[in-house]
Structure formats: C-alpha cells, structure tokens
Amino acid sequence: MLAAKQASDEGLRLFEELKKELAAHETAEERFFYVPLFEHDSTVDASRHAIAEHHEMDEMVEDIEKLDPHAAEWMEGLRKLCEKVEHHLKEEEDKFFPQAGEVLTEEQKETLAGEYQQEHAALRAREVEAG
C-alpha cells in the first residue's frame, strides 16, 4: 500500500512538472521557432507537424487530468504521454532542427535561440508565481 502510494505521489509530481515544462516548451518554440519556419516552403510541413504534436500532447495532458490518479489508466496515460514526448523531442532533434539549419541564417539562429530561452524562462517563472 505504502509503495503504491509513493509510486503514485512520484507519478503526480512527474506529471505536474512535465505539464509545466511542455506548456513552456510549446509556446516558446511555436513563437520563436516554428512561426519563423513557416516563412520557408521547405519547413512548412515540419512546422505544421510539430505544432500538431504539441496539440496532441496538450490533449493527452487534458485526458490524464480527467482520470483518478490512483487508477491504473492514469499511470498508463502518463506512460503514453512520456513516450509521445520522447518521440516528439527526437523528431525535432533528428529532423526538424537540421531542416531549420538549412533555411535560417546564423544571425537568425542566434537571435531565435536567445528569444526562445528568454520566453521559456519567463513562462516557467509565471507558472511558479501562479503555483
């Protein structure tokens, strides 16, 4: 019983952290990476695909929130979300970042990376304030 409770507390903490991190990642990345990539024909599909995945992950988070954290479905939902996040990050790293590398100038890369980091930090700080 105690082990199960600890496991679910741990799962809840992980979920809350993942939820906040995803929200900041998605907004900052859409503002300072994918929107600029829509300017280029060769990166439209990548941008569309990644933003659709952001939305899918948001829906997975919403579905998990409707479940009882002590139910097996809740843990299964979290496991699936983690798999999806892993797939998403790998695809961005292996496919979309190299594609972006071909259309963005060095100056744009530097500026956008800085803006992303600033926005991400600001969004996370706002969440800490909000609790």
Residue nearest to Fe ion (CB): 29
CB atoms inside a 10 Å sphere around CB 80: 13
Q: How far apart are CA 64 and CA 87, in angstroms?
A: 19
Q: Which is nearer to Fe ion, 29 or 46 (CB)?
A: 29
Nearer to Fe ion, 6 or 117 (CB): 117
Where on the chain is the footprint of Fe ion (CB under 5 A)?
Answer: 29
Min dist. Cβ of residue 16 to Fe ion (A): 19
Whole-number minimum distance, CB 49 to Fe ion, in Å?
10
We find the least distance from the C-beta atom of residue 125 to Fe ion, in angstroms, to be 20
Cβ atoms 55, 46 nearer than 8 A: no
Name which of 47 and 74 has its Cβ closer to Fe ion.
Answer: 47
Query: Per-residue b/e over 43-57, b at no fewer than 16 CB within 10 Å?
Result: beebbebbbebbeeb
